[in-house]
Amino acid sequence: MNADYARALALLVLTLIASVFLSLVMGSVTIPMGSLFSPGMKGILMLRIGRVLLAVSAGASLAVVGAILQGLLKNPLADPYILGISSGSGLGAVIAIMLGLNIPILGSLSIPLSAFAFGLCSIMFVYFLSKKGSRVGTEDLLLSGVIVTSMLSGVIMYIVSAAEREGLHSALWWLLGNTQVYDPRLLSAVLAISLSGIIISVILARHLNIMSIGEEEALSMGLDVEKTKIFFFIISSVMTASIVSVCGMIGFVGLIIPHIARRITGPDHRRLIPASALCGGIYLVLCDIAARRLAYPMELPIGVITAVCGGPFFILLLRRSKVPD
């Protein structure tokens, strides 16, 4: 392992650990570390631990998916929501909230599972819409994703605007993003999916390096391009759908973080993916702290914080990507 990369990775790990402890102490109310770990604070401590674990998992997953899609689609503006996953999950969650869906066997998992199922259905629709014969073109996939996202977003806005007041606040709060989780089963499932997806992505990062050169070159090197694309789309879709189904639509993480990590590690995905995961975890934990503190005693949706931070970065990236006349 390159010494500079090892030092950068170690620094990111230490920063993530510091961010986690800072998040545990600085909730909506600051509690000193000594008091937080006292027996009387066990309930609050467990809630904060669950919240920070979800923030780390969501930030890492969205950042890794962003890195995968930017390399696979060879598009620096690609992000986890570009393929319609978020809008599909959003539609599933909004329908479940507005209908008051509460399946007895599932309990609190009813809304997340509805969002997860709709998210996977939307990416399947995008995939079959962009498929021509046995081949899926990246341009067709992007265009299909944008179209499906626009359509489903319109349906979501109609349902929200036509709904009665009951359930409206819950739907809007979910759509704007949050890291509150009260069900240990749900948290465990998200952590398992995120960790598995990141590990698989690191193991197969070499294939992403080959794909980023170009499809014809990848074919000449013996890589099955179509199977590789499908495999990474499945990984990206499952990771994104799991995060969106629990946290809602947290934008810009998958767009911003891979570019920051790429400046640290370079374009090699074997280094880029671990760095993106660490940077994404750090970023979302810090955004979560800001969401709880900036408008105290009211808590801001974390999607508002990531949008305010990510918007200027996106504009700068868009301007730099323009070809001069």
Coil vs helix vs strand at 12: helix
Other beta carbons within 10 Å of 126: 28
- pLDDT at 317 (0 to 100): 65
- pLDDT at 97 (0 to 100): 78
Between CA 106 and CA 300 the distance in angstroms is 29
* Cβ atoms of residues 250 and 174 within 8 Å: no
- pLDDT at 169 (0 to 100): 67
- pLDDT at 224 (0 to 100): 86
- pLDDT at 325 (0 to 100): 42
Domains along the chain with CATH numbers? 3-321 (1.10.3470.10)
* Cβ atoms of residues 239 and 145 within 8 Å: no
- pLDDT at 116 (0 to 100): 84
What residue ranges in the chain does DSSP mark as E strands?
Answer: 131-132, 135-136
Q: State the DSSP code for 300.
A: P
Entry pTM: 0.89
- pLDDT at 102 (0 to 100): 56
Q: Which residues contact 274 (CB under 8 A, 6 or more apart)?
A: 9, 198, 202
- pLDDT at 101 (0 to 100): 60
Between CA 276 and CA 254 the distance in angstroms is 9
- Report which of 77, 135, 40, 38 is spatially closest to residue 322, judged by C-alpha positions: 77
For helices 225-247 and 184-203, angle between their N-to-C axes, nearest 10 degrees:
160
Q: What is the pLDDT along the chain (325 residues), one digit of tens a residue?
A: 688 889 999 999 999 999 999 999 987 788 888 788 888 888 888 889 999 999 999 999 999 999 999 988 888 878 888 888 888 888 888 888 777 665 544 556 777 888 888 888 888 888 888 887 777 777 788 888 888 988 998 888 888 777 666 566 667 777 788 888 878 888 898 999 999 999 999 999 999 999 888 878 888 888 888 888 888 988 988 898 889 888 888 888 998 899 999 989 988 999 999 999 999 999 999 999 999 888 877 888 898 899 888 878 777 766 765 544 4
Between CA 148 and CA 263 the distance in angstroms is 32
Other beta carbons within 10 Å of 107: 10
